[in-house]
Amino acid sequence: MNYYILDEVSSCWDCPYIREIPEELDMINAMLGKKIEAKNLPIRIPVTITDESEVVYPDIMTADLPLFSNKLKLVFDNLGINNIIYYPVELINEQSGNTKAHYFLAIILDLIDCLESGAGRSPAGRFILKNPIIDSTRVKNHRLFRLGEEPNLIIVDSHIKETIIAANLTNVLLKKLTDYVSL
């Protein structure tokens, strides 16, 4: 089975930029698959928009928090992926306070330690991944999960990858895990 990293295209200069994450949201807990206690829904997140006429609202934003568009959420819903807790999010223009887009904060519950090879330490002792290979016996039947050894990585199987490609989503990157090298 081939596995892929689900991420955003990092060079989207026309995408909204999240400057500050609301205090109630803990990025670490979100990455580790822990439920959040949101006092008010939808969660309102201020964004910077450089040029309103050229703004691109991508189907995934992962730089700060895992935010999925409704279109991406529907892909996962139609595939029967049930290990994600979704919280509604409104992206608001930090200048005007107007709602600009609707997303879902996606808390992926499964964090799986499953690397067969490719994990190591730099001479300075920093954890690095180089061309990692997953032991699919540890993954069992999980089709979407976070990599336990590197929780900021969202992993999908080949079937999900093909479905995402067919959905023609915007700003979604699917990189073969075995081609990944951490910096």
Q: What is the reported pLDDT for 20?
A: 83
Instruction: Clarify whether residues 122 and 96 are in a common domain.
Output: no
Q: What is the reported pLDDT for 19?
A: 80
Residue 1: pLDDT band (50, 70, 90) is: confident
Position 21 pLDDT exceeds 90: no
What pLDDT, in 10s, does the model give residues 72-110? 999 999 999 999 999 999 999 988 889 999 999 999 999
Domain that holds residue 34: 11-108
The model's pTM? 0.94
- Which structure tokens are listed for 87? 């919280």
Q: What is the reported pLDDT for 11?
A: 81
Instruction: Clarify whether residues 100 and 51 are in a common domain.
Output: yes
Instruction: Clarify whether residues 90 and 168 are in a common domain.
Output: no
Q: What is the reported pLDDT for 91?
A: 95
- Of 31, 159, 161, 166, give the one whose Cα is nearest residue 175: 161
What average pLDDT does this structure show over 29-44?
89
Q: What is the reported pLDDT for 6?
A: 98
Domain boundary among 69, 90, 108: 108
Q: What is the reported pLDDT for 47?
A: 93
Q: Using CA atoms, how far apart are residues 136 and 116, in angstroms rounded to an integer?
A: 9
Q: What is the DSSP string of 91-139?
A: EEETTT--EEEEEEEEEE--EE--EEEEEEE-TTS-EEEEEEEE-HHHH
Instruction: Clarify whether residues 16 and 102 are in a common domain.
Output: yes
| 148 or 63, higher pLDDT | 148
Instruction: Clarify whether residues 56 and 104 are in a common domain.
Output: yes
CB 177, CB 125: distance < 8 Å:
no
Domain boundary among 67, 93, 108: 108
